Structure 1
């Protein structure tokens, strides 16, 4: 590791002390990661972000009191917020979907192998999402099944209205992002340069009022339900 590069600062949020201890052991065992604080609930998470200024928050979804969704919204509303990576026991948790809509960059399951948890933290710290297409499909399908037809129809129309502001090429880019394609793959599909893809995605962030690629993907999926 570059000696001048500072380790990624991580806040671990979970209501179970044993889980927090295990995650600290995993992350502190990596030379480029360090746990700077812990919190046992959502309110504690927001306070810890203000006090410790982590780069990444590893956030439990279900906690007594303020849950992970509300805490994620609170954390991301702060000035210069950290990245948020959701931690859950279930890959069909509708709170995870809500957190992704709020701006979390992905989620990992609590039974994920330690090395993959560390890799997920690194990926999110770099601003990239951690969400496989298979996992996204299961989460969205589970959440959709619990919404009424009227609610689904309203979300679909709202999403389509937002996407209507895009150019044809921007819409093609958004759909490719929703499929989980990276910038080189999108460039190859659309016959444009990677730099142009990046420009389109920057434009998508502004026009759609989103902060990351996961939110773009969810918006496209809402429009096509």
Structure 2
């Protein structure tokens, strides 16, 4: 259940990144030019490059985590082979920390070790289930998809709004989307909803104002 919540939270945050970064890019260009083709090019380029960047970053991050987990399990396997008594004492102590008496913890540790020593020691000592590691490919794909879904918000606002109202319509659409992702993230994390939604919307609005202002400034100099 906790793993599922972590994935959902990561998906919401990925969508949030897609909304903010793509909206900032589009509005930055909008500050410099009213060309619809330039705005669409910037938006699509932002979606593609952002999704690929998110996927690559997640793949590298999860691959590193996976390698670390495998190395920790391999070390645990070596220690079980070389120092079984020490490992038994460690497992007993960990079980005692969970509220067992010494006698009960020792008996449980012996039974767990006899059943599957590596699984018992890895899961209780390391919090890792041998053979069940995070898949970097699924993490990369999920990250790219969530970013792309978020990036579609400013792009759809750009396509569907009248040419004269592109900027205000995009800003409103993005703020609404950020409120939704802020509320979703807060609920998944058990945090206050109102504060999270306000913080998320304010951060996105600040990003759009800054990038639009930079576009205006740069546009007048060219």
TM-score, normalization by structure 1: 0.21
Higher relative strand content = 1
Higher helix fraction (1 or 2)? 2
